[in-house]
Amino acid sequence: MMKLLVTGSNGLIGSEVVSYFAENGWDVYGVDNNMRADFFGTRGDTRWNQARLEEKYDSFTHYDLDIRDRDGILKLINTLKLDLIVHAAAQPSHDLAASRPFDDFDVNAVGTLNLLEATRRHAPEAVFVHMSTNKVYGDRPNTIPLVELETRWEYDHPDYTGGISEDMSLDKSKHSLFGASKVAADVMVQEYGRYFDMKTCCLRGGCLTGPNHSGVQLHGFLSYLTRCNLEEREYTIFGYKGKQVRDNIHSFDVARAIEVFFNNPSAGAVFNIGGGRDNSVSILEAFDRVSQLSGKKMKFQYSDEARKGDHICYISDLSHMHDSLPGWRITKTLDDIFEELVAQWHKRLE
């Protein structure tokens, strides 16, 4: 029986990976101490997702362990003898990182190092997949020439017709403290792959989404927006006229990419993983889409102050994914994503 460890197993990507691999016959072990509730309060609590997984999958075992607990992580990975590790635990918010910098760096950077070193010592043949972020590029994407359209910003340069590739520099840009801690983790994952010849990869996610997201204002754009609409609460747009663009990828397609990499591993791989151009949407366009499904008008206010290090327009170039991960393609359209989000929030708010 193949064995998988998932950190952040209560979260959006973590829980999707648990489900995907459990349903494909793996023994799956989850690590999550519900720190999202500490970061974001009761609305960020993910215990409901943990309970769902434990009830549904006999092959799933949960460990209430903090990835900052170095001895605990070393002992766990030594005990389990794993084939695959998917590291999805993180402090995910720009804004929260600025108010809790030690927690942000200790979780994102030091926690990743704990997992990498435990893997090197006790499971060196295992494949290690790290959920990185496009925020490692800082605000450098904002230097791309843009044109303002009626409902969105769009690239105004032929080199970016297909989106942003992995060749974009991480240097000389404003990242936010969150972006900086994720850069540290990202580079360390690459280095363990190249220096120790381990099978590692970084998935630099665009806007990761899906029905199992506990979206809050500080993290979880589409999930939070959908919840605001259904509860008829006011959503705040931060800068850029609400025309800022994100490419959205369903958590199921992320889990599929992880499986394909496991079957075709390499050392220190890096992939931009997002929804690509077809799954891109601005905030204003998202308002229209969710309102059409719910029948409720979106309530919102506007703040001229954009979030520091935020992207005006970000669309992932998926060429490297397509070339290096044979058979992987986006299967969940933007329509699928919105329909699932509305349906799931209806169910959870009943």
Indicate yes or no: pTM above 0.75: yes
The identity of residue 246, as a single letter, is R
Within 13 Å, how many C-alpha atoms sit on residue 183's CB side? 16
Least confident among 200-204, 283-287, 303-307, 324-328: 303-307
Give me the mean pLDDT over the 167-195 stretch.
Answer: 96
What's the pLDDT band for 12 if we cut at 50, 70, 90?
Answer: very high
pLDDT tens for 16-32 read: 999 999 999 999 999 99
Cα-to-chain-centroid distance, residue 79: 28
Using alpha carbons, list the distances in angstroms from residue 15 to 7, 34, 53, 88.
9, 13, 7, 9
Domains in the chain: boundaries: 3-349
Task: Give the C-alpha separation, 350 to 339, whole Å.
Answer: 17
pLDDT tens for 282-310 read: 999 999 999 999 999 999 999 999 887 78
Cα-Cα-Cα-Cα dihedral sign, residues 310, 244, 87, 9: positive
Residues 310-330 as b or e (16 or more Cβ within 10 Å = b): bbbbbbbbbebbeeebeebeb
Which architecture characterizes domain 3-349 according to CATH? Answer: 3-Layer(aba) Sandwich (3.40)
Residue pair 309/176 in contact by the 8 Å Cβ criterion: yes
